[in-house]
Amino acid sequence: MTDRTRAEPPAGVDEIYWNPDHPVLEILRRRRDSGSTPGNRRDSAKVALTVAGGGMRGAISAAMCAQLEEAGFRDAFDIVYGCSAGAINAAYFLSQPVGTCWYPLSIYYEDLSGGRLIRYTEPLRGRAALNLDYLFDEVLGSKKPLDYGAAAGAQAGLVVLTTDVEAGETYAARHFPTGEVLKAFLRAGARPPLAVRGESRIDGRRLVDGALLAPPQFRLALADGCTHVLALGTRRIRRTDAGVTLANHAYARYLDRLRNGLGPAYLAALRLRRDDRKRLFQLGFASDGPGPHVLSLAPMPWTNEIRFHDTDPGRILNGIRHAYAVSHCATEGIGVRHLRDGLVRTVPRFAVTGPEGPRARNNPPTGGAELVVSQS
């Protein structure tokens, strides 16, 4: 059977998907090498990281976050934006102890796959298809604990995107006074209508999935005055876009029943994101200039794509390995040809939970991922 989510490798000797000396990569390397930290900068730049989600596609941005942490780039960012599953990844990114980033990444192939998060038959029983109680109470609560307090108090600010149903617009939550407040916003931002019934109510707002109306996150970062933005995408790079589909229109009609005008706002957001995907690709070839500078990293066009509702742990793990390698190649200046030809591969140190807490299976607890790179 043909896998419709897979494309053929690109033609040509060595196609380019970003400028290896992009200003965003340059400032990240410079800050890492100089030991720069938030609140103790030697430059006037404001550098942002934006983390996309999308259900199980969040495994892609989680893998890239893991690579950035392991390569020493976490302190290079001044602010981190997250949407939906990407907001959870961002919170883990800011709160995990150094060297343990593979531990929270493992939730995607150990805890959320196999139908434990997404339950296809539950709507037939009048229940939600997306089991947020399992995600927040069991996985993030006890299996792979997320330190909400550490994420809320991180030196680099965290911004969590949600959708304000009554206002019909994106609400960016920030400056969380406690970990519990952050947890409430993360849960609100992970409530896609239809998959989860109802909404979260925080400070008088009716809040649902942050991805519903959100523009591409780099726009929010630029509006906040960021000079450099690294955008982690979870959809593979495409030269053409299918645009708004019949399924999108059907979902828009459902949203309009929640609040009049929400459906058209959703379709407008889809069109903006479609147009900005092309713009992001072009911005990846920027050179020195006044800025602001934006670089997007995403899975290559020829890879198998993780879908929102994927439950196959093998497929998810393959996507994780590829996404980690993409981020590694970009930050360390390795050509895309090595990715295409299979000369860069990641070997993750799988995290498990034991009596003494998280540890790495068959590896030292401070390990991360081994990258085998051939320049031949």
- According to the 3-state scheme, what is the secondary structure of the chain? CCCCCCCCCCCCCCCCCCCCCCHHHHHHHHHHHHCCECCECCCCCCEEEEECCCHHHHHHHHHHHHHHHHCCCHHHCCEEEEECHHHHHHHHHHHCCCCCCHHHHCHHHHHCCCCCCECCCHHHHCCCCECHHHHHHHHHHHHCCCCHHHHHCCCCEEEEEEEECCCCEEEEECCCCCHHHHHHHHHHCCCCECCECCCEEECCEEEECCCCCCCCHHHHHHHCCCCEEEEECCCCCCCCCCCCCHHHHHHHHHHHHHCCCHHHHHHHHHHHHHHHHHHHHHHCCCCCCCCCEEEEECCCCCCCCCCCCCCCHHHHHHHHHHHHHHHHHHHHCCCHHHHHCCCEEEEECCEEEECCEEEECCCCCCCCEEEEECCC
Question: Which candidate in 61, 84, 95, 113 is catalytic?
Answer: 84
Q: Output phi, psi for 67, to 5 deg.
A: -65, -40
Closest CA to 136 of 197, 91, 102: 91
Q: Please list the residues that pair with 206 across neighbouring strands.
A: 201
Non-local (6+) Cβ contacts of 354 within 8 A are: none
Q: How far apart are CA 171 and CA 200, in angstroms?
A: 13
Residue 84 annotated as catalytic: yes
Question: Which candidate in 75, 111, 209, 276 is catalytic?
Answer: 209
Q: Is 215 exposed, middle or buried (0-12, 13-18, 19+ CB in 10 A)?
A: middle
- Token couple for 350: 């799988």
Residue 209 annotated as catalytic: yes
Active-site residue set: 84, 209
